[in-house]
Amino acid sequence: MSYDVDTKFAFRLDWNLLRSFMVIAEEGSITRAAHRLLRGQPSVSLALQRLEAELGCKLIDRGHGTFRLTAAGLQLQSECAEMFAGVVRLPELTQTAEQEVSGEINIMLASHVVTPLFDATLKAMSAEHPKVRFNIRIDTSARVVHSVRERLSSFGICLVNRKFSDTSYLHMYREFFGFYCGPSHPLFGREDLTLKDLRNYPAVSFDTDDLNDALRPVALLRSKWGLDYDVVGRSSQLEEVRRMIQCGMGIGSLPVHVAADDVARGLLWRLPPYEDPPAVDIFLVRNPRKRLNRAEALFAEQLEHEIAQTPLAERTYSD
């Protein structure tokens, strides 16, 4: 049998190098990739060098605190993601249609996604199809969208600051952000406050609490009332923002429906504004070019049905 040059390359290439590269690119670090691959760091670094030698180009710029995919690296990452998605589907493709639904569903969420729509779909899917496995990861909204666009995740649920033409967005629910302080804060327990009273106190915030990012409505309110002059703590994770507020580090914003239980338990105190708090929309983000396995397709169908049959008023969480 004869092979052309490109086919010979495919047969000669150690495909494990592509798997190693994909993990390196996803983790953004040789060290983290080695941990995930259960291999030594030198071995993973050597795999990258071998792949670059095989392809005759540099895939990652490293050194002096820099880790950045080159143009060739970005292209290869996209191709690897597509190949990996195809490989993931192989077991399912070889099974008969009558067999029980199985497979892995990869979902990325922003840290403050709290909605019965998602919970109900997870519960139903898990109960009806016990062989389905879920991989749920938490990250910033920007990275969630990036992961979906690059077909590294099946779905994303997050805030959206900018909509891309190659990605679909389904409005999932609306939440409102309120300002809070912890038990040790001087304003805790006071009911006679206005927004002016919040000035001159340190603040904590989300990384996306910025005029040019996903929490722009919250940032606008901060800026209007001068509540952003001394930000002493930031995090992309709701749990850590809540921790800093509860510890008395400063005033911070949280989704009202998420913070309600902590307010009832005396761990947080709601501050102004009590009327017309900033509204933020959460979206289900998908990539139409992403090929879904049976489990993913079924999950998407059930979640979108759950959203469609629930009026927006019931998907608006004000408390």
Tell whether the model's pLDDT for residue 291 goes beyond 60: yes
Q: For position 156, what pLDDT does the model report? A: 95
Cα four-point dihedral sign 297, 298, 300, 304: positive
- The mean pLDDT of 228-235, rounded to a whole number, is 82
Residue 159 token pair? 């805030």
pLDDT tens track for 33-55: 999 999 999 999 999 999 999 99
pTM: 0.68
pLDDT tens track for 60-84: 998 777 889 999 999 999 999 989 8
Q: For position 3, what pLDDT does the model report? A: 46
Q: Helix (H, G, I), strand (E, B), or coil: what is residue 254?
A: strand
Q: Where in the chain is the domain with CATH 3.40.190.290?
A: 108-319
98 falls in which pLDDT band (50, 70, 90)? low
Tell whether the model's pLDDT for residue 1 goes beyond 60: no
SS3 track for 156-213: EEEECCCCCCCCEEEEEEEEEEEEEECCCCCCCCCCCCCHHHHCCCCEEEECCCCCCC
The helix or strand, by DSSP H or E, that contains position 138, with its residue range, turns out to be: strand 132-138
Q: For position 212, what pLDDT does the model report? A: 57
Q: For position 2, what pLDDT does the model report? A: 44
Q: Where in the chain is the domain with CATH 1.10.10.10?
A: 5-88
Tell whether the model's pLDDT for residue 146 goes beyond 70: yes
What mean pLDDT value characterizes the chain?
88
CATH class of 108-319: alpha beta
**How far, CA to CA in Å, does 193 sit from each of 48, 186, 188, 268, 269?**
58, 12, 10, 15, 12
Residue 49 per-residue DSSP state:
H
Q: For position 149, what pLDDT does the model report? A: 93
Rg (CA), the chain: 23
Lowest-confidence segment of 17-26, 46-55, 105-114, 205-214 by average pLDDT: 205-214
Q: For position 157, what pLDDT does the model report? A: 96
pLDDT tens track for 202-226: 989 887 766 556 677 777 777 777 7
Which residues 6+ apart lie within 8 Å of 133 measured at CB? Answer: 102, 103, 104, 105
**How far, CA to CA in Å, does 57 sit from each of 12, 46, 253?**
17, 15, 46
- The mean pLDDT of 2-25, rounded to a whole number, is 81
CATH topology of domain 5-88: Arc Repressor Mutant, subunit A (1.10.10)
